[in-house]
Chain A
Amino acid sequence: GAVVSQHPSWVICKSGTSVKIECRSLDFQATTMFWYRQFPKQSLMLMATSNEGSKATYEQGVEKDKFLINHASLTLSTLTVTSAHPEDSSFYICSARFMGITSTDTQYFGPGTRLTVL
């Protein structure tokens, strides 16, 4: 199956600092990537859709100035949490949309990044 990586896998930062998380599709090109947030014992919450070469589309209630998304290439999207605060502590997961030859359309997920803001 297709492979998606995330870096870092975990990060601890001080309140007020910014943190960047990278999401890479390793063996396919992804014009669309997605960023999710997951709280303990809950399902995934979509934060935004990242499209290569254009602005990200944010879900209702997600602050676009706090969660900056850049999709500079067909294999890389980044999420920057700006001026992080303890309430931003969470598990962040990216996914990449794979469009197959036989009209298959599948999302493959990265391993996730655990962010802890002190």
Chain B
Amino acid sequence: EDQVTQSPEALRLQEGESSSLNCSYTVSGLRGLFWYRQDPGKGPEFLFTLYSAGEEKEKERLKATLTKKESFLHITAPKPEDSATYLCAVPNWAGGTSYGKLTFGQGTILTVHP
């Protein structure tokens, strides 16, 4: 069974204080890892998809990286508007077929103080 674990559960940063969020996974064969951002009372917003170890993607102050066991979401010089819950997820595959279902981690609640 696929498992996704995120750490820390909560992270409090000062504005401008860079840090990283971790997403470790156990899957039978990785076929993609997704990062989402979720604001309170809203649906998750797609950020990145990573497909292979060594891959990196960037968007503004965020950079996602992937190894064979984990993914990191690096936040450089965060601003208060980066405060949100960050979710990572992996697609479920059964018998060589994906039905699109995702296994989510519990999320990291990021709070950036001005």
Contacts and interface: CB of A to CB of B under 8 A. Distances in A.
A95 B87 CA distance: 15
A44 to B, nearest CB: 6
A112 B46 contact: no
Interface in A1-24: 1, 4, 6
Contact of A109 (B32, B45, B91, B100): B45
Contacts of B102: 46, 107
Given A109-B36, A110-B43, A114-B41, A43 B106 contact: yes
Interface size class of A (residues with CB under 8 A): 20 to 34
A114 to B, nearest CB: 7
Interface in A44-91: 44, 46, 49, 91
Interface of A: 1, 4, 6, 32, 34, 42-44, 46, 49, 91, 93-95, 97, 104-112, 114
A109 B101 contact: no
B43 A43 contact: no
Given A32-B100, A34-B100, A43-B107, A109 B43 contact: yes
For the residues of B in contact with A, the DSSP-based class is strand
B43 A111 contact: yes
Nearest to A33: B100
Contacts of B36: 109
Interface residues of B, number: 21
Interface string B85-114: 001000100000011111011110000000
A93 B43 contact: yes
A42 B9 CA distance: 11
B72 interface: no
A106 B43 contact: no
A97 B42 contact: no
Nearest to A100: B49
